Structure 1
């Protein structure tokens, strides 16, 4: 499921004439009407794709967490998972194309603090898609504190608190429209520059999506998830995307798709728990899920440097543009796989766990302690 969200973000950036450093945009199709229609259709996919990531992060991290785990060990795994990929792609972007226009030598981007500033000069720059890691880092740091009260929620009140998290997202939208300055306007958006920053990029404003995912994980883990068919979930996803195409910002950024995304994640996870094989649990999708973080992180280099510099900036007809788009996706999958194999896997293998020797535990006669029941694994 992670790969589909990453692909949605990629398609938004591939068809949308957005380029770093005020460069001339290079779009796949030469027909301006087709390009305009594609921009309209894929414009929500980038924003809601990130919202899916944020909800899924809360779900998966909660699922993999166990009471009593050391906070330092948890933070070590999170940092090793994120920073090596980030540093490599940041350095590539700065070296190949972004160094000329990224302020402060790209250091705010490197240390993942850039979106705490309302100054748009710091939002992008360097490896542009990496701004979302600033939000994720806040989630990682707060998780050890958030999981304590969430684990204490009574089973009967979990759905009530999930609804409260969605209400919190709605509150962010209201605050954006009523309390954040409505000028200057953000190009192509119904929001002002400060409103767009606050609702979309300011890390604390995205916290409710992460908490929503955490609560959904507790619902599934405690066996409280209702039996929902996959067909209704897919229908809700289509309705959510249609709403994102229709309603204005900030509601389309995350609010209208939060419930469909949450139901999709929980339903597929619940099905996997029941031993039902779904397409999301198939080997190709699991493989794509493994490389999805690398796929997400390399898209800036592929689209903003390799596309114009190596492939060229020409646009094509329907067939040629489609072949180009599929080729860019394939190239980015390979780039993401290389980042996964050469950076993510080795660093996780060598650095995600402490090298300190584990203390020897005295042997206890069989039956003297309660046997631990391993929790089932959910391939999301």
Structure 2
């Protein structure tokens, strides 16, 4: 399942590469943009579903809320702070004006909670809106897990279908009840309120997280239908092709969670049975390990490397874009990918991994207390790193 994180990160990377416009051939550039149009959205949805699955899959009785939140914090925050500083320096070097509201809300990862297009559009590191959403998932997980665990095993598939329907109802609600104005700054074919609800609002994106939780219970209860990874991947691929035919508002998240959960369940089953497949090969596991760092670094790295070719700073993507022949453009994108992987490995090796080892768990073992002890700490299942 670690290798799946690398796949999701690559989907996001491929989507963001379309904004570089590196192909001089307009047909090739249009084809690249068309094929990868929703790849980033599917990749983020993959992360959200996988997060819910992994937290539920690795949950163990007896852990405490404090320990759980501490592990989550030291898994994501060290990388976030380092990437934040680098992105801020690059923006200042480009002469960008830093809005105090954007700087503060990005630093504390709350910008996706607020329906303000400027806060998200001028955030210090554009990709961190998804971390802002993930934090809400982590806070809700101790409340959601007991509810998910109460679902009877013979009703788990009905629950999965129900969550899938709820995800589909989010864009329906946005189009029905939210105003069509003002226009969205990121997608002109919908209003900003409609985009915020379907793309950024943490509780709406929670349908993906909840899908992962329910699917984890399906697998753990032995009720998975044993579809292999290849058929599950074909199903997800067909789902992606469908998203390219639908209005943009459907391609953010609504149609992905259930097919993605099939891929994750198939991979988890392969892991549990000890099957050796390409996803659990050493290179893929390494790429999965550095995926958090890769996700945080890749956007401002690819923009600034591209801008540097023309002797510019990228700023908020406001620079003259260089384009080349198709072979050179492909080589340039591969070079961008290699640079991102190397920088992500450095961030993982010297920041994320040592910070997690040093601070994710208390040095002294906390005493085990029965539920309802006088200290009053909540008990939640453990979550592995």
Aligned-partner Cα distance in 2 for 1:28–1:330: 16
Equivalent residue, structure 2, for 1:373:
none
CA contact (8 A) 1:176 1:199 kept: yes
Equivalent residue, structure 1, for 2:21:
27
Equivalent residue, structure 1, for 2:52:
58
CA contact (8 A) 2:12 2:39 kept: yes
Deviations 1:145-196 (A, max 9, x none): 1001111211111111111111110121211111111112225442111111
Unpaired segments of 5 or more residues in structure 1? 17-25, 362-376
Aligned-partner Cα distance in 1 for 2:59–2:144: 12
Equivalent residue, structure 2, for 1:278:
277
Aligned-partner Cα distance in 2 for 1:244–1:281: 28
Q: 1:276 to 1:357 in 2, by over 3 A?
A: closer
Q: Does 1:111 align with 2:119?
A: no
Task: Describe how 1:197-276 pairs up with structure 2 within 5 A.
Answer: 197-276=196-275
Q: 1:222 to 1:360 in 2, by over 3 A?
A: closer
Q: 1:262 to 1:63 in 2, by over 3 A?
A: same
TM-score (norm 1): 0.89
Equivalent residue, structure 1, for 2:372:
none
User: What is the Cα-based RMSD across aligned positions, in Å?
Assistant: 2.1
Q: CA deviation at 1:33?
A: 2.6
Deviations 1:317-365 (A, max 9, x none): 011000000000010011111110111001100000012245599xxxx
Equivalent residue, structure 2, for 1:12:
15
TM-score (norm 2): 0.88
Aligned-partner Cα distance in 2 for 1:93–1:243: 35
Task: Describe how 1:68-217 pairs up with structure 2 within 5 A.
Answer: 68-97=62-91, 100-104=96-100, 106-124=103-121, 125-186=123-184, 187-217=186-216
Q: Does 1:44 align with 2:42?
A: no
Unpaired segments of 5 or more residues in structure 2? 312-320, 370-382
> RCO (CA 8 Å, sep 6+): is it higher in 1 or 2?
2
Q: 1:157 to 1:360 in 2, by over 3 A?
A: closer
2:182 alignment partner, SS class: coil
Q: Does 1:337 align with 2:345?
A: yes
Aligned-partner Cα distance in 1 for 2:309–2:352: 26
Q: CA deviation at 1:27?
A: 2.3
Q: 1:12 to 1:101 in 2, by over 3 A?
A: farther
Deviations 1:254-285 (A, max 9, x none): 22222221100001111221222221111111
Deviations 1:98-118 (A, max 9, x none): 682442161110101111222
Q: 1:360 to 1:252 in 2, by over 3 A?
A: closer
Deviations 1:201-225 (A, max 9, x none): 1111101110110111111112111
Aligned residues: 355
1:65 alignment partner, SS class: coil
Aligned-partner Cα distance in 1 for 2:247–2:257: 15
CA contact (8 A) 1:269 1:378 kept: no
2:252 alignment partner, SS class: helix
